[in-house]
Amino acid sequence: MTDVSSSFLPASNTPPKSATGQEQKWVPIVLIGIALAFLALILYIPAINVFYQAFHKGFGPFLHNLGEPNFQHAARMTLGLAAIAVPLNTIFGLCTAWALARKRFRGRTLLLSIIDLPFAISPVVAGLMIVLLYGRNGWFGPFLQERGIQIVFAFPAMMLATAFVSMPFVAREVIPVLEEEGTDQEEAAYTLGANPWQTFWRVTVPNIRWGLLYGILLTNARAMGEFGAVSVVSGNIAGKTQSLPLFVEEAYKSYDTEAAYSAAVLLALLAVVTLVLKEILERRTGGHLKKTH
């Protein structure tokens, strides 16, 4: 792997033009302005519209909707799906990143592209694939039916669908960081007599923690928000196999617009609670790290 700092320095060998203080002042403002304008157009105004739809009749209907038993069941279902899919994909992602980031071999690019594939597969097709495997007429259908094991239209298939659509995030987030980081510190750890496991936990993971964290954030958000794939395999039975996005859809379809938007708002909030985790991590480790630099 390339050593980061040494590869940068030659870039600044060209005679540096004098950096002016004035430039420093307006550049950030302009950049922040452009970025926020873009975010406003693509993200904030549409998002505000969701909040507006949820709350324009006040907080009463919102709270009432949160009290619905079917809603609460759907929320727990969504949490449960994320609670299984996220750790699974984290383990997979770490193994994959570890296996791929520092090796060059024939077919590596192909393997990387294959790992990206679950994003490119239309969620509806992802659900369909699970049905083709585990459904009544699927490959394993007869086998499962004989033994009375219910996979599709039950929690297991929903879990598979959720894990499928959020599969590549951790791997894809960690690989660039791992590549960027280089192996120096790990080698140092080995020289100091650490075993691979210690090295992994004490050196590698701290170094890749931002990539890992963003990977987990994205996995979680995507796992909670997934509709298409889950809808194909869940059967959408209220109070039984209905996740939050499915609840939103059903409420919307039966013209309970407020309920639909309230659930959507809650879903958005649930998915970003992982940011609280990030905040904690930042508070606890950020300070230490800065000192070591």
Partner 1 sequence: MSRWHNLLGRWGHPVASLRYRVGLSALNRFVSLFLVGAVLSISVAACSGGNTSSTNASSPGASPASAKQDVELTLVAYAVPKAAHDAIIPKFQEKWKAEKGQNVTFKQSYGGSGSQTRAIIDGLEADVVHLAIGADVNKLVKAGFVKDNWTKRVPNNGIVGETVAAIITREGNPKNIKTFEDLTKPGVKWVTADPKTSGGARWNYFALWNYAKKQGADDGKALEFVTNAYKNVVVLTKDARESTDAFAKQGQGDALVNYENEVILAKQKGEKLDYTIPEVNISIDTPTTIIDKNVDKHGTREVAQAFVEYLFTPEAQREFAKVGFRPLGELGKEKEFIEKFPPVKTLGRIDEFGGWTEAQKVFDDGGKFDEIRAQIAKS
Partner 2 sequence: MATDASFSIHKAMPTTEALSRSTSNSPWKSFWNSILHMPWTWRIMFAYLAFMLFLPVAAMLTKSLTIGPAEFWRIATSPLALSTYDVTFTTSLVAALIDGVFGVLIAWILVRYTFPLKKLVDASIDLPFALPTAVAGLTLATVYSENGWIGSLLAPFGIKIAFTRLGVGIAMMFISLPFVVRTVQPVLMQIEKETEEAAWSLGASSWQTFWRVLLPPLFPAILTGVALGFSRAVGEFGSTVIISSNTPFKDLIAPILIFQRLEQYDYAGATVIGMVLLIISLLMLLVINFIQVWGKRYD
15-34 residues near partner 2, rule: CB under 8 A: 16-20, 23-24, 27-28, 31-32, 34
Assigned token pair, 176? 């660039």
State in angstroms the smallest separation of the CB of 184 from partner 1. Answer: 4
Nearer residue to partner 1 within complex by CB, 6 or 22: 6
Q: How far apart are CA 248 and CA 225, in angstroms?
A: 11
State in angstroms the smallest separation of the CB of 9 from partner 2. Answer: 6
For the segment 47-86, give every residue that binds partner 1 (CB under 8 A): 69, 72-73, 76-77, 79-80, 82-84, 86
Does residue 118 bind partner 2 (CB under 8 A)?
yes
Q: How far apart are CA 182 and CA 7, in angstroms?
A: 12
> 127 near 233, Cβ under 8 Å?
yes
Number of residues that bind partner 2 (CB under 8 A): 115
Residue whose token pair is 């406003």 = 40
For the segment 187-226, give every residue that binds partner 1 (CB under 8 A): 187-191, 194-197, 199, 201-203, 205-207, 209, 216
- For residue 29, give Cα distances in angstroms to 20, 26, 32, 38, 53: 16, 5, 5, 14, 32
State in angstroms the smallest separation of the CB of 26 from partner 2. Answer: 11
Nearer residue to partner 2 within complex by CB, 40 or 237: 40
Does residue 257 bind partner 1 (CB under 8 A)?
yes
Does residue 123 bind partner 2 (CB under 8 A)?
yes
CA dihedral of residues 205, 207, 209, 214 (deg, nearest 10)? -130
For the segment 139-178, give every residue that binds partner 2 (CB under 8 A): 139, 160, 163-164, 167-168, 172-173, 175-177
Residue 255 site contact among partner 1, partner 2, none (CB < 5 to 8 Å, cut-off depends on kind):
partner 1
Neighbours of 114 (CB within 10 A): 11
Q: How far apart are CA 18 and CA 87, in angstroms?
A: 50
Nearer residue to partner 1 within complex by CB, 3 or 116: 3
Residue 239 site contact among partner 2, partner 1, none (CB < 5 to 8 Å, cut-off depends on kind):
partner 1
> 215 near 90, Cβ under 8 Å?
yes
Does residue 227 bind partner 2 (CB under 8 A)?
yes
Neighbours of 250 (CB within 10 A): 18
Neighbours of 176 (CB within 10 A): 13
To 5 degrees, how large is the angle CA 41–CA 47–CA 53? 130
* Secondary structure element (H or E) that encloses residue 145, with its range: helix 141-146
> 54 near 264, Cβ under 8 Å?
yes
Chain positions contacting partner 1, by CB under 8 A: 69, 72-73, 76-77, 79-80, 82-84, 86-87, 131, 135-138, 141, 145, 150, 152-153, 183-191, 194-197, 199, 201-203, 205-207, 209, 216, 231-232, 235-240, 249-250, 252-257, 277, 280-281, 284-285, 288-289, 291-292
